Amino acid sequence: MSKTADAFKNGKAFIPFVTAGDPDLDTTKKLIIGMAQSGADLIEIGIPFSDPVAEGVVIQQADERALSAGATTDKIFDMVSQVREIIPEFPLAFMTYINPVYVYGCEKFLAKCEELKIDALIVPDIPYEEKEELAPYCEKHGVDFISMITPSSENRIKMIAKEATGFLYCVSSMGVTGVRSEIKTNIGNMIKSVRQVSDIPTAIGFGISTPEQAKQMAQLADGVIVGSAIVKLCAQYGRECVEPVKAYVKEMKAAIAAE
C-alpha cells in the first residue's frame, strides 16, 4: 500500500486543498502544518498557474494572488522542505497543471517530489489517454499519479479505475471547482462502477463545503476533498487565516467521522 492509500486506512479521509503562496508562502507553511494537526489525512498543495482551466473564480483569484506575491515552483519546493522538518511523514500531494511541470522539466520536477516525499500528483488537464506523458516519471520516483473520473466518464470509469494508483479522484459535478449549494450527480453509480473492477480508495471533490455535504459524500466514498471553501477563508482572513482554517478542518473531519 502506498503512503497515499495509507491516508484512508483509519476511516474516512478528509483531504483539504490550499493554494501555495496565498497570501504568502510562510502562511501556507503554517496552514499545511495546522491542517495536518487538526485532523486532515492528506493535504493537496496547489502550485499556482496563470490559466487554471479546472478552477472556479475562487481558486483562480488565489492563483493570481500567489503569483503576484512572487510564488514560484522553486520557492514552493523550499516551503515544503520546511514543512517536512515538522511533519516528515504526513501524506502530501501536489495539484497543478501540466504547463508548470513541463516548464520545470518532468524528470526534474518528479525527482524533486521524491526528495520532498511528495506522495501524489494531481494534474487535471491531462486526460487519461495522455497520462503516459507523466505517469512513467511518477512511477520512477515513487509518486502516485492520481486519476480523475467525472460524471461524463461513463464507460471509461472502469478502464480508468483499473489502472489508478493512490486513490481515485471522483469529480462530483460537471464544470469547474467551487462551492455548490447541492450536489446532484449520482455519485453512488460512479463508485459502484469503480468497485466492480478495483478496491482503490475513492475521494469525492468539487463543490463540497458544508459538514452536511461532507457527511453525505463520505457515506458514498472513502474520502472527501475540499478546496474552494478553504481558499475562501484564506481570502477572507489573509495572514490571519490559519486558526479559522484549522477550526474548519476539525469541523469537517468530525462530520465525516460521524457518518
- pLDDT tens for 113-147 read 999 999 999 999 998 999 999 999 999 999 999 99
Residue 152 has pLDDT above 90, yes or no: no
Lowest-pLDDT range of 21-30, 84-93, 210-219: 210-219
Residue 178 has pLDDT above 50, yes or no: no
Identify which of 76, 67, 157 has the alpha carbon closest to the alpha carbon of residue 109: 76
pLDDT above 70 coverage of the chain, percent: 94
The answer to whether residue 177 is domain-embedded is no
Query: 3-state class of 191 per DSSP?
Result: helix
pLDDT tier, 71 (very low <50, low <70, confident <90, very high otherwise): very high
The answer to whether residue 162 is domain-embedded is no
First to last CA, the chain: 25
Contact in structure between 17 and 46 (CB atoms under 8 Å): yes
The amino acid at residue 201 is P
Residue 77 has pLDDT above 90, yes or no: yes
Angle formed at CA 138 by CA 136 and CA 141, multiple of 5 degrees: 110
Neighbours of 2 (CB within 10 A): 15
Lowest-pLDDT range of 64-73, 98-107, 169-178, 189-198: 169-178
Residue 174 has pLDDT above 50, yes or no: no
Domain range for 60 is 10-147+212-254
Q: What is the pLDDT of residue 80?
A: 98
The answer to whether residue 92 is domain-embedded is yes
pLDDT tier, 176 (very low <50, low <70, confident <90, very high otherwise): very low
Contact in structure between 126 and 134 (CB atoms under 8 Å): yes
Q: What is the pLDDT of residue 10?
A: 86
pLDDT above 90 coverage of the chain, percent: 81
Task: Please name every residue paired with 122 in a beta bridge, in sequence order, or none if there are none.
Answer: 95
Q: What is the pLDDT of residue 187?
A: 83
Residue 1 has pLDDT above 70, yes or no: no
The answer to whether residue 196 is domain-embedded is no
The amino acid at residue 115 is E
Q: What stretches of 173-239 show up as alpha helix (H) in DSSP?
A: 187-195, 211-218, 228-237
Q: What is the maximum alpha-carbon separation in the chain?
A: 46
pLDDT tier, 259 (very low <50, low <70, confident <90, very high otherwise): low
Q: What is the pLDDT of residue 181?
A: 45
Q: What is the pLDDT of residue 74?
A: 98
Interval 59-73 mean pLDDT: 95
The answer to whether residue 109 is domain-embedded is yes
The answer to whether residue 38 is domain-embedded is yes
At 39, which CATH number?
A: 3.20.20.70
The CA–CA distances, whole Å, from 66 to 34, 48, 96, 244 equal 19, 7, 13, 20
The answer to whether residue 173 is domain-embedded is no
The answer to whether residue 71 is domain-embedded is yes
Query: 3-state class of 87 per DSSP?
Result: coil
Q: What is the pLDDT of residue 173?
A: 63
Q: What's the number of domains the chain is made of?
A: 1
Entry pTM: 0.93
Angle formed at CA 2 by CA 160 and CA 249, multiple of 5 degrees: 90
